[in-house]
Amino acid sequence: MGVKLNLKTTVLTLLLVTTCALGLLIAQPIGASWVLVAGLVFLGVLFFDDRGQLTSSWITTLSVGAIYASLVWALTEPSSEGFWRSTAGAVFFFGFLYEHNSPSWSGKNLFSSAFAPSLLFFVLVISQGAAVFSPEGSAVLNFSAVLVFALYELFIVFRDKGDYLSSSSISALRVGSCGIVTLFFGSTYMPSVIHMYPLNSISYLVPAMGLLLALASLAFSDVKRSYVFFTTSWNLFLLWAVLADEEYRLYAAILGAIAGAWSVAMANIDEGALEDFKSVYLKLSSWGFPGSFLFTAIVFILLPSQKPTVQLGSLIWAITFLTFWWGVIRMPWPKEGGTASWGWRRQVAVVVTMIGASGLAGATIFPGLFKAVWGGGV
């Protein structure tokens, strides 16, 4: 059970730790908490990356470092324009990372390229600062950009071999980064116009989109493509949680962002058969099945509320997740062969989902504890 470190892993770890430390030094107190969350997501995904995807080449390794640096820079920016521009930088590097690591495809449709959502995201976020737009117009552009980032993998999933990066460490980083960006934007820069008519309908639109994705995923018998729909839906779920504008729901969503990213990295859904209990547990955990870290995050975010929009949204999300789980149950899982390789990292992954679930349950019982930690900064 030795720890095998190569040069690229060491360099990436040092890059992440150094950038995190620099971010903590220059950030405002509340920004520092977000820098730490981003550090947890990235370092966690790197830790669970037992297939070495993030360190497969120097280009990939440095791109991950550049994404993290851009994200940390975004979280420490004093203005919303700076935040969006730096985030667009991270999204641009994601496009590059996806294209560089995915297998060759026909390349006939530009919209199926990973650069397409990156470019769209940049144009939307850079336009939101245009002086000719009203606050409502800017808010719509902001939310459109967040939606593009959340729906990122849907652009590439329909191409031949588009499922390749599903449940990969790169996908995990994308899910985690999108979660952090969504929650940071919602809790720090969300304009007040978003709670006014007709923009407040976004609170209904987001769960509706989640439900549509769940229904669409039923059309796929392919577990990997279906999983892309689930992770996309998860990002929308976090966006809805921050739209609810309730403090405890935000804290839960922050834990959900970390749990979501880690679960994608841990799952490795293309390996292992039903015979292998631990493998099945991790796979189900990545779909947020009972007993897992992710499931507790779902429950925690769906806490009861007095707001009618949140009540209705909670109901739609509950139906959405039930639909996803129903799809998982009826999916043809491999019954034999392909036994997953169980290194020490995957053993840790099983333990983390179990302990993490209890930890989250504890936070549900003692919510003040989390507020004290988050409110106090670092």
- 378: closest CA among 14, 12, 18, 39? 39
User: For 49-55, which contacts have Cβ atoms below 8 Å and span 24 or more sequence positions?
Assistant: 49/169, 49/265, 50/268, 50/343, 50/345, 50/346, 51/168, 51/169, 51/268, 52/9, 53/101, 53/168, 53/169, 53/170, 54/12, 54/169, 54/170, 54/173, 55/6, 55/8, 55/9, 55/12
User: Near another protein by CB under 8 A, which window of 42-50, 66-74, 184-192, 207-215?
Assistant: 66-74
Q: CB-wise, 69 or 301, nearer to another protein?
A: 69
Closest approach of another protein to the CB of residue 23, in Å: 12
Structure tokens at 151: 């729906």
Distance, CA of 243 to CA of 187 (rounded, Å): 9
Residue 305 and residue 311 in contact, taking contact as beta carbons nearer than 8 Å: yes
Closest approach of another protein to the CB of residue 235, in Å: 20
Under the binding rule (CB under 8 A), the answer on residue 81 touching another protein is: yes
Q: CB-wise, 136 or 247, nearer to another protein?
A: 136
Distance, CA of 314 to CA of 288 (rounded, Å): 16
By CB under 8 A, the residues from 86 to 145 that bind another protein are: 86-90, 92-93, 95-96, 99-100, 102, 104-107, 110, 113, 115-116, 118-119, 122-123, 126-127, 129-132
Distance, CA of 376 to CA of 378 (rounded, Å): 6
Among 70, 169, 232, 353, binds another protein (CB under 8 A): 70
Distance, CA of 241 to CA of 186 (rounded, Å): 9
Closest approach of another protein to the CB of residue 165, in Å: 13
User: Near another protein by CB under 8 A, which window of 34-42, 58-66, 204-212, 228-236?
Assistant: 58-66
Q: CB-wise, 59 or 274, nearer to another protein?
A: 59
Under the binding rule (CB under 8 A), the answer on residue 73 touching another protein is: yes
Q: CB-wise, 98 or 295, nearer to another protein?
A: 98
Residues in the site for another protein, rule: CB under 8 A?
A: 57-59, 66, 69-70, 73, 81, 85-90, 92-93, 95-96, 99-100, 102, 104-107, 110, 113, 115-116, 118-119, 122-123, 126-127, 129-132
